[in-house]
Amino acid sequence: MRFPPIVALVISFSIGCQSGRATGGPRLPDGNAGQILGRAIEASGGWDRWSSLSDVAFVATITIFGPFGEVASESIGLQKAPLHGSPRVRFESLGLPEPVTLGFDGKNTWMLRDGAPVRDPGPMVFPRFNMVSSIFWFSLPFSLAEMPVTITDLGPQSFEGRTWQRLRVKLEEGAPEAPGDWFVIYFDSKTGRIDHLLGHITASFLRHELWVGRWLDFRDCDGLQKERRRQFYPADEEGNVIGEMVVDQLVEDVRFNNHFPAETFERPLVLQAENRT
């Protein structure tokens, strides 16, 4: 699988959201599916804690591997996003001679290089996908109780002494932009937390559509139990891994309630003005 050159700047199977906080209780599906999701939310820190958080910033280190297991690229950046509502995201590179900032304001993708707006950055489908997807992953499982989705209990599955509860999640009309249109999420029966998932990823630049993502190294992040590492592999329809790891994402220095102003995620004024002329 080949990635565009901008992969060196950002590839976090990365959804951001509008500022604000969740209101009311979680919208859980009926029956056993609701019990599984409710337990996952409690095991991940609880709805009260999640609903008290307005935004997040974290440092993401992304390593991309080639077809022979070689490191194709490695990047590090600070990602910022609201946690509720429609997606808005900002990614600020770290360690580059000329810092690059990428943004998605909910409609348009934009770019700064060394603080200056880039008027013609080239195709932005790839960075848009990455910015949208990283916060989508980060917001699980809480966001499943906020957005329009259909959730179905697929029943338990056991393998080599481990058991998972499986929920199939299908995004419905009106759902925020996401990396795919359906996912099967495997919750560890002992902890209640996400162990791994199978996702139907709809990005046009990918040659493969089905991916397994593994959630690893959970730790406490200011009241939330969050994975420190995610790893992604090509998979088949049964959720079996059929290739070597392609993406390794490390999430560190997580900070909530930064109170980012709205303009953090908006296109630079000079680019907005050019679009109106």
- Give me the pLDDT at residue 270, please: 66
- What integer pLDDT is reported at residue 46 of this predicted model? 98
Which residues of the chain have a pLDDT value below 70? 1-23, 270, 272-277
Which pLDDT does position 19 carry in this prediction? Answer: 39
Q: Tokens at residue 39, please? A: 């337990």
How far is C-alpha 106 from the geometric centre of its chain's CA atoms?
15
The closest alpha carbon to 230, from 188, 255, 208, 197, belongs to 197
Instruction: List b or e across 173-192, with b for residues whose CB sees 16 or more CB atoms inside 10 angstroms.
Output: eebbbbbbeebbbbbbbeeb
The span from the CA of 67 to the CA of 151, in Å, is 34
What local confidence, expressed as pLDDT, does residue 10 receive? 39
Q: What is the pLDDT of residue 23?
A: 63
pLDDT of residue 122: 81
Class of domain 5-276: mainly beta
Q: 118-160 pLDDT, tens per residue?
A: 988 888 888 898 889 999 999 999 999 999 999 999 999 999 9
CA distances to 102, 121, 194, 248 from 72, rounded to whole Å, are 21, 22, 28, 12
What is the domain partition of the chain in residue ranges?
Answer: 5-276
The predicted structure's pLDDT at residue 22: 61
Model pLDDT, residue 86: 85
Contacts of 165 (CB under 8 A, 6+ apart): 36, 153, 156, 186, 187, 189
pLDDT of residue 277: 38
The pLDDT of residue 1 is: 44
Instruction: Output the pLDDT for position 205.
Output: 86
Confidence (pLDDT) at 264: 95
SS3 50: helix
Determine the pLDDT at residue 87. 87
